[in-house]
Amino acid sequence: MILGDSLSVGYGLPSHSGWVDLLRQRLQAQSSSYEVINLSISGEITLGGRKRIEQALAMHQPVIVVIALGGNDGLQGKSIQSIYDNLETIVLTCKQHNAAPLLVGIQLPPNYGISYTRKFRDIFPRLAQHHQLQFVPFMLEGFGEHREFFLADGIHPNERAQEKIMENIWPTLATLLQSMQTLVEYKESSKKQD
């Protein structure tokens, strides 16, 4: 399950060309049993994700939740503590529902001031370390500073960038999928022994 904002919706892109669609294609090529549920909303802030997560978990019962929120909070200059608290609540709620959280970090453009951008960037590794989370440090790693990978607004990645986003997230997600698979196999073999 993907809990994100416009970067995960595929804002401004041809349909089915966003990184979540590419991820779905890759997973289903491996196994038709994989299902990807994209609950991302353009303009979503961490408070919105916090309000939606409980019901989403109950309805969809995902094994893994990719949390890709925070960018809009930063662009709106929300307090660092409130962003951290909202993300932490989402993480803890996932864990209560036996869904493994995968946290995806984002960074702000430098024009938001050195102090705020640094504190904002630090939210994600701090939270990941505190809760021992699987973590992708920066969603736009490797191309975030290159204009040619963005739409005219300079904020939303274009179609060329989607494969790069997916490749940034894939190694961590693949590790998490593997560990979940191992856990399921272990539980099944334990049941057989009982």
Catalytic (active-site) positions: 6, 153, 156
Q: Strand 2-4 vs strand 100-104: parallel, antiparallel, or unpaired?
A: unpaired
DSSP class per residue in 47-113: HHHHHHHHHHHHHH--SEEEEE--HHHHHTT--HHHHHHHHHHHHHHHHHTT-EEEEE-----GGG-
Q: Following DSSP, what letter does each residue of 8-47 receive, concatenated?
A: HHTTTS-TT-SHHHHHHHHHHHH-TT----B---TT--HH
Two structure tokens written together for 132: 């021992």
Token pair of 187, please? Answer: 């539980």
